[in-house]
Structure 1
Amino acid sequence: MTKNIASYLVLVLFTVIVLSVSFSSNDSIVDLSKYSTAGLELNYTVSLDEGIKDDILLSNDEDNEFSPFLGKSFVGFKEAIGFKESRGNYAIVNTFGYLGKYQFGTETLKMIGINNPEAFLKSPKLQEKAFIANAARNKWILRRDIKNFVGRRINGVLVTESGILAAAHLAGPGSVKTYLRSYGLDNFADGFGTTVQYYMKRFSGYDTSFVKPDRRAKAI
């Protein structure tokens, strides 16, 4: 019995010595001052996305700024075009008389059922609908060209459906047909010098499957 108690005391004494040496070693001491949170604002919350609606027709960006985080989605596609055309300004009229965020001409607006330019400028929702209606109409007009040319390269630029639709928004579907069927020899440029080929390249690779070809597409 005495022998067992002595063995136990020796084991306890050895353990105490080991722990004492471990805690007294400078290498084992963690300097917590390096992790101080003094001066940092820790009491904050992140607002919930309660006000964000899943509405593909209308951007909720009140500042009209294009967000690059939309990626290659359809919303990313239309916002990228809107930013390029007008920096997202729904109320702008340029020096050639083109209107709104997507810079529509009055004749194009008439084709998709909009006959009141002033009302059009005052309605962001109508402008978003106009963009989709025009894209649907262009997709129907260019359906054969999309089938025949997507995946090919013209002047080193890969032809994609979104590039075709963006170029059609810029220059009209007729100019895009001419560009594709001339294999880039006839490269229309608008009043500011922006070409079909430039839009074909800049807006390449977006997902425009949301847009359904519609010969009679109307915004109203």
Structure 2
Amino acid sequence: MALQSLNAFLVALRMMESGGDYQAVNTLNFLGAYQFGEAALIDLGYVRRDGDPYDNNYAGGWTGKHGVDSAKEFLASRTVQDRAAEAWVKLMWHYIEAENLDRHAWTEVGGRELAPSGMLAASHLLGTYALEEYIRTDGRADLRDPYGMPISNYIARMADVDVPFGPKEPRKTLSTSGRNDS
């Protein structure tokens, strides 16, 4: 079940990020099906740190992890991109826990229930700092990526995708009397 739900999340994420195109490179030089930037690829061990990990020029060079020595090789390998994405969402959930944001799972923020999958997607889009701002301001700080995509969009669109992270959804009761009154 855990692997199946993680795979479903990754399919949904890559469809949102690139329409599933493993060769995609956007105008800001984010790479592949999951649109990885330099900072994420540094965190994952694929790229060496350079002077600015956010400029996406990959000037620190590639480490050779999983046999990848260039952006071209990274883009050519679905397997490597999928492995990187699996490691990335695990790392993102670790960052969410490190910031104690996981305690907000299944609470309502800005009129939306925060599912762990939505929290992960939001963190992928803009990082845990943006997710933290969204939670802290009850959704009023609906930060956007450089293309104008609001974090709330990722929270909402990915809310129904199960992930093997975070607390499970609390059981809903039918009514306060314990019976279905409909």
TM more than 0.5: yes
Give the drift of 1:105.
0.5
Give the drift of 1:182.
2.0
- Cross-structure match for 1:104: 36
- Cross-structure match for 1:145: 101
Match of 1:123 among 60, 77, 80: 77
- Cross-structure match for 1:194: 149
Q: TM-score, normalised by structure 2?
A: 0.72
Structure 1: unaligned runs, 5 residues or longer: 1-55, 57-69, 212-220
Report the structure number with the largest CA radius of gyration: 1
Question: What number of residue pairs does the alignment pair up?
Answer: 140
- Cross-structure match for 2:12: 80
Instruction: Report runs of 4+ in structure 1 exceeding 4 Å deviation.
Output: none
- Cross-structure match for 1:92: 24
Contact 1:139/1:165 (8 A) holds in 2: yes
Q: Which secondary structure state, in structure 2, belongs to the residue aligned with residue 142 of structure 1? A: helix
Map 1:1-220 → 2, pairs under 5 A: 73-115=5-47, 116=62, 117-143=71-97, 144-146=100-102, 148-209=103-164
CA distance in 1, matches of 2:137, 2:46: 33
Contact 2:22/2:78 (8 A) holds in 1: yes
- 1:144-192 per-residue CA deviation (whole Å, 9 max, x = no partner) reads 211x211211221111100000111111122111211222121110112
Superposed CA RMSD: 1.7
Structure 2: unaligned runs, 5 residues or longer: 48-61, 63-70, 167-182
Contact 2:116/2:165 (8 A) holds in 1: no
CA distance in 2, matches of 1:88, 1:74: 16
- 1:9-48 per-residue CA deviation (whole Å, 9 max, x = no partner) reads xxxxxxxxxxxxxxxxxxxxxxxxxxxxxxxxxxxxxxxx
Q: TM-score, normalised by structure 1?
A: 0.60
- 1:41-97 per-residue CA deviation (whole Å, 9 max, x = no partner) reads xxxxxxxxxxxxxxx5xxxxxxxxxxxxx8xx3222111111111111111101111
Q: Which secondary structure state, in structure 2, belongs to the residue aligned with residue 141 of structure 1? A: helix
Q: Which secondary structure state, in structure 2, belongs to the residue aligned with residue 138 of structure 1? A: helix
Give the drift of 1:210.
6.1
Contact 1:88/1:101 (8 A) holds in 2: yes
Counting aligned pairs with the same residue, the percent is 30
